[in-house]
Amino acid sequence: MKKALLLVICLLSFTCLKAQTTYSHGRITAVYWDSVFHDSTTCMITSFPSIQISIDSSYLGDSVKIIDTGLNAIILAKRNFTGVTPWTFTSPLSGFGTSDFNELQGRPGYVHDFYYGAKIISDFDTLKYINRNDSQFISNPCIYDTLTGNFYADFNENCIFDSSDVGLFFGYSLVGGVFEFPVNISENLSSTVGFLNYGNNITDYTYTGPYRYAIQKSWMINYTVYMPSYYSFIFPPSTCFSGSYTFTTLPQSHVDFPIHCTSLIDVQCYAMSPSSIRLHRAFYMQPYVSNTGCDAASGQLTFIKDSRVIYNPSLSTYPADTVHGDTLIWNYTGLTNLSGGAYWNCFFSNIYLSLDSTVVAGDTLCFSGYTNIPSTDINPTNNHFAFCLPVVYSYDPNLKEVSPKGTGTQGYIPTDTDTLTYNLHFQNTGSAAAENIKIIDTLDSHINAASLRILGTSHNMAPQWLAPRVVQFNFNNINLPDSGTNFAASQGEVRFSVALNPGLPFNTQIRNKGYIYFDLNPPVITNTTLNTIDKPSYVDPIIANTGVYIYPNPANEYITVENLNGGEITIMNMNGTIILQQNVLNDKVTIDLKSLPSGIYLLRILNDKNTATSKFIKY
């Protein structure tokens, strides 16, 4: 009964194929076969080769080896521990599993098993060749159909891929050292595999705009096509589409992904570095210049080192083109976001530095740099930098820094602070090189996650969103050496900025920390940075007598009123006309002023404890 049931399941779910070939020489007889299974519910083909060997006139301690003649490697070795003769045994050999699309592209046909030949050796007998190549016919492969479209920078913003637009490059990407697909696909299937994050059968490697995929049609319920999330770190949202498409039918054409890309230039420069400098230890810095615009920028990057720091060009990657004393200069050309996989194109060097004999622990070393400012640069304030680093005996190399740091243990920052910059440093302190490193950072709820911008990175890096406020920085194939092998090269960093939500009340705390994963090891958790919104320094004296705070004043978009103890708030113009009136149940309220014209207004509060009126300015 069990055999009958198994046979029915095999006929319903699989194509089961088996071909046998017999070989013999001297005492050796071998029967080789390959069972090929096609599972139409998962669209997978698997191969399970096996061999049965019989040795005549065998004896105790007799041995058998099967050698792969292509790799010249032993794939099976056995010994006769009982002395039985003839000595007969059956053993599986390594096989393979693959999608039937890879073999058949949706059409009935032959599956070819391409294995190297093998030979069998037993004592003085050698069966010199076993042919392990075979072909099996699959009559019912899964069905696939095509999805095509364009991936491009829509310069004229007409939502059509035309001659004025630029098809974006995809292929082997600099951002992560891996092959990047232009779009991602998730497919929902009704078969036993359930929801499938589809691996994408790309059939047209044009690399510059148009793309073509083959998508599984068998068992399909629907599928969603969407843009990889790392583009959102650089390009603003396009008005042409919502970011993804969901379909229930195939084929589909003109599934286009236009990226909003204006002819703006934003050149910025900085130098990535350790958070501190270890005494008697060399270190690397990465001066860089980037352009997050779509028009090309060219110029010079200038870096000025501390006079007590020694520059070694022979141990540097991309050493300076020109050196004048402590000043290092690089020339760069053609920086634009339409190169480098259309993601954060930059030029950066990796300079090897060491300390001269006059430096002692407790010293501070200072560095600065700048680049020329293009006439069309939308933000000339980020074209120069300066910072100082302490010299220490030791420090925690895996840490998080925030700027502005704020004052005191609570990290108080002014109420008008709108941006925070985070530097996340990491170092491989293990005993071997780290092949891949990823950093997961959950942004505080008081941060506008959509505002995140990558400012710099020490190595090639590809970011992605794991969740609405959870970002992951992927350093694929970084091969970061351990600190014992190469201390200077064992460190890395990523730097990014975020905007705070508007109208945060004083005493609001913004926290952040990172989880650093070196290969498959448990995460190294950094320190937690803390910023606290400080009490506003500008408080109207009438309201101050009541303990109620109004800030900011003057105000532009929002005004916040605190310590109300409930009650009623009224805003009037200087003629006494009521503009807004509302009841407040909480201790604090933030009022939207964007619809009000600029001018002077009266704000009146009325509750069980206070009745007071104050002026504020809307600009």
DSSP per-residue string spanning 101-124: HHHHTTS-EEEEE----EEEEETT
Q: Which of 244-248, 311-315, 373-377 has the lowest mean pLDDT?
A: 373-377
Please give the pLDDT value at position 37: 84
- For Cα atoms 411, 497, 283, give the angle at the middle one, nearest 5 degrees: 85
Per domain, the residue ranges of the chain are 2-138, 144-260, 396-535, 541-618
Percentage of the residues of the chain whose pLDDT score is greater than 90: 38
Higher pLDDT: 459 or 153? It is 459
CA 361, distance to chain mean position in Å, is: 37
Q: State mean pLDDT over 168-195.
A: 60
Report the candidate in 372, 430, 363 with the shortest Cα–Cα distance to residue 392.
363
Q: State mean pLDDT over 289-295.
A: 82
Q: Rounded distance, CA 378 to CA 25, Å? A: 81
- CATH fold for domain 541-618: Immunoglobulin-like (2.60.40)
Query: 534: which DSSP letter?
Result: P
Identify the top-confidence range among 113-117, 316-320, 460-464.
316-320
Q: Rounded distance, CA 494 to CA 108, Å? A: 50
Is 70 exceeded by the pLDDT of residue 128? yes
Please give the pLDDT value at position 232: 74
Q: pLDDT digit string (tens) for 245-268? A: 999 999 999 888 888 776 678 888
Token pair in block for residue 231: 């583009």
Q: Rounded distance, CA 215 to CA 105, Å? A: 10
Burial of 595 (0-12, 13-18, 19+ CB in 10 A): exposed
Token pair in block for residue 356: 């001269």
Is 80 exceeded by the pLDDT of residue 14? no
Top CATH class of 396-535 equals mainly beta
Q: pLDDT digit string (tens) for 219-246? A: 889 999 888 777 777 776 677 776 789 9
Instruction: pLDDT band for 164, please (50, 70, 90 cuts).
Output: confident
Is 80 exceeded by the pLDDT of residue 183? no
Q: Rounded distance, CA 528 to CA 323, Å? A: 40
Please give the pLDDT value at position 10: 38
SS3 of residue 53 by DSSP: strand
Q: State mean pLDDT over 78-96.
A: 90
Token pair in block for residue 95: 């096989």
Cβ density class 488-516: b for 16+ within 10 Å, e for less: bbbbbbbbbebebeebbbbebebbbbbeb
Percentage of the residues of the chain whose pLDDT score is greater than 70: 88
Q: State mean pLDDT over 85-114.
A: 81
Beta strand pairing call for 166-167 and 220-226:
unpaired
CA 40, distance to chain mean position in Å, is: 34
Per-residue three-class SS string for 467-533: ECCEEEEEECCCCECCCCCCCHHHEEEEEEEEEECCCCCCCCEEEECEEEEECCCCCEECCCEEEEE
CB atoms within 10 A of CB 181: 16
Is 90 exceeded by the pLDDT of residue 155? no
Q: Before 481, cis peptide (omega within 30)? A: no
Q: Rounded distance, CA 399 to CA 195, Å? A: 38
Is 70 exceeded by the pLDDT of residue 339? no
Report the candidate in 200, 186, 209 with the shortest Cα–Cα distance to residue 257.
209
Q: State mean pLDDT over 561-573.
A: 84
Is 70 exceeded by the pLDDT of residue 76? yes
Please give the pLDDT value at position 538: 57
Higher pLDDT: 330 or 561? It is 330
Instruction: pLDDT band for 170, please (50, 70, 90 cuts).
Output: low
Burial of 404 (0-12, 13-18, 19+ CB in 10 A): middle
Q: Rounded distance, CA 395 to CA 399, Å? A: 9
Is 50 exceeded by the pLDDT of residue 345? yes
Please give the pLDDT value at position 4: 30
Average pLDDT of the chain? 83
Identify the top-confidence range among 157-166, 180-189, 279-288.
279-288
Please give the pLDDT value at position 16: 53
Per the CB < 8 A criterion, the answer to whether 440 and 459 are in contact is: no
Please give the pLDDT value at position 206: 46
Is 80 exceeded by the pLDDT of residue 135? no
207: left (phi over 0), alpha (psi -120 to 50) or beta: left
Strand ranges inside 28-160, DSSP E: 28-39, 44-55, 63-68, 73-79, 87-92, 96-99, 109-113, 118-122, 125-130, 134-138, 144-154
Q: Rounded distance, CA 144 to CA 141, Å? A: 9
Is 80 exceeded by the pLDDT of residue 102? no
Instruction: pLDDT band for 110, please (50, 70, 90 cuts).
Output: confident
Report the candidate in 161, 372, 154, 342 with the shortest Cα–Cα distance to residue 263.
154
Higher pLDDT: 8 or 430? It is 430
Q: Before 404, cis peptide (omega within 30)? A: yes
Is 60 exceeded by the pLDDT of residue 207? no
Please give the pLDDT value at position 447: 96
Residue 120, C-beta contacts closer than 8 angstroms, at least 6 positions apart: 28, 30, 53, 64, 65, 66, 67, 126, 127, 130
Domains 144-260 and 396-535 share a fold: yes
Beta strand pairing call for 144-154 and 257-260:
parallel
Is 60 exceeded by the pLDDT of residue 194? no
Please give the pLDDT value at position 3: 32
Q: Report how far apart, in Å, the C-alpha atoms of 433 and of each of 111, 176, 475 are.
A: 40, 17, 13
Q: pLDDT digit string (tens) for 492-511? A: 999 999 999 988 888 899 99
Q: pLDDT digit string (tens) for 432-469? A: 999 999 999 999 999 999 889 888 888 888 888 898 89
Q: State mean pLDDT over 277-285.
A: 93
Q: pLDDT digit string (tens) for 360-374? A: 999 999 999 999 988
- Domain 144-260 falls under CATH 2.60.40: yes
Strand ranges inside 230-296, DSSP E: 244-247, 257-260, 267-272, 277-278, 283-291
